[in-house]
Amino acid sequence: MSTTTPNISIIIVGYRSQHTLPACLESIALQTDCTAEVIYVENAPDHPGISTVNAHYPNAIIVEPGDNLGYGKGCNAGAHVARGDYLLFLNPDTELKGADTLATLCQFMQAHPDVGVCTPLLYNENNTQADNTLRYDYFGHRYVGHLFKHLPGDIAWICGAAMVIPKSLFEQISGFDERYFMYSDDVDICLDVRKAGYTIAEAPTAAIMHIGGESSKNWNSAELFYRIELSKIIFTQKHYNKQQHDYIWKRCRSRYRRALITSALLYPRKLSHYRGMLRAIRHASTR
């Protein structure tokens, strides 16, 4: 391992990601004008991605938890061994577009000390630009009076496919909340960053390509939607008071039940979606 402190630590959490990792790692290897280290966290117990990482980026640091930690906890495990001034949490189904992407992201953060998290422009596989930022949009927000509109900046959160944050700030806010297994962890950390007094931004001259959906393709739809809703429950418990949390989920319970009835009549293929969602809501009502 080099004794030089890298500008940026790239943390990739993988779970059966060996098919997309080669292109991701090769795009990192092409980067110039920036010293970087790659940290790969293997969340699959049988370690299918490690040989791929060793073949395509031999200097990568491998973290093997021995179990599937989930996304946020996996990111924290990678950050624990990171040495860079900045941390880039990067999905394994992404590719950096252009050899100066990392340098551009670091320069953007250095030029904007008020920014706590930034993201590059996000492009779909067909080269169309994706909407990577959400403005004043948190789950349940509209039901309880837009509580967070006073926080700095006009971007509420960004997609977690590629997020850059100063390591010092990441440690200040205690990293990702490990109660989330997957989904909403990107929303949550962005809100924590804004509560700490920083803004969220998009770096307009850096770009990545994101395939999307790789982390959830092996999940059945009922379990997938259960996980999505369960993460929303954790979010509302953390960021709203009990009265607000209960009101939000009362509204959601009513809406999802109507959707379940409609699906049974018109869209039977979506029944498992709503069953998963209602299972999570029952979980919410017992907390």
pLDDT at 46: 83
CATH architecture of 8-216: Alpha-Beta Complex (3.90)
Let me know: does 8 contact 102? Beta carbons within 8 Å: yes
Global confidence as pTM: 0.88
pLDDT at 132: 75
Burial 171-193 (b: 16+ CB within 10 A, else e): eebebbbbbbbbbbbbbbbbbbb
Q: Which long-range contacts (CB under 8 A, 24 or more apart) does 268-275 make?
A: 272/220, 272/221, 272/222, 272/225, 273/221, 273/222, 273/225, 274/225, 275/222
pLDDT at 263: 58
Let me know: does 77 contact 178? Beta carbons within 8 Å: no
- Report which residue type is found at 68: N
Other C-beta atoms closer than 10 Å to the C-beta of 4 total 9
Residues in the chain: 287
- Report which residue type is found at 98: G
pLDDT at 83: 97
pLDDT at 175: 98
Beta pairing class for 162-166 and 86-90 = antiparallel
- Report which residue type is found at 170: F
Q: Return the residue matching tokens 């990545």.
A: 208
The domain ranges of the chain are 8-216, 221-285
What does the pLDDT profile of the chain (287 residues) look like in tens digits? 556 778 999 999 998 889 999 999 999 999 999 999 999 999 988 888 999 999 999 999 999 998 889 999 999 999 999 999 999 999 999 999 999 999 999 999 999 999 999 999 999 988 899 877 776 678 877 776 667 888 999 899 998 999 999 999 999 999 999 999 888 999 999 999 999 999 999 999 999 999 876 555 555 567 777 788 889 889 988 998 999 888 887 877 776 666 666 655 555 666 666 666 666 666 655 55
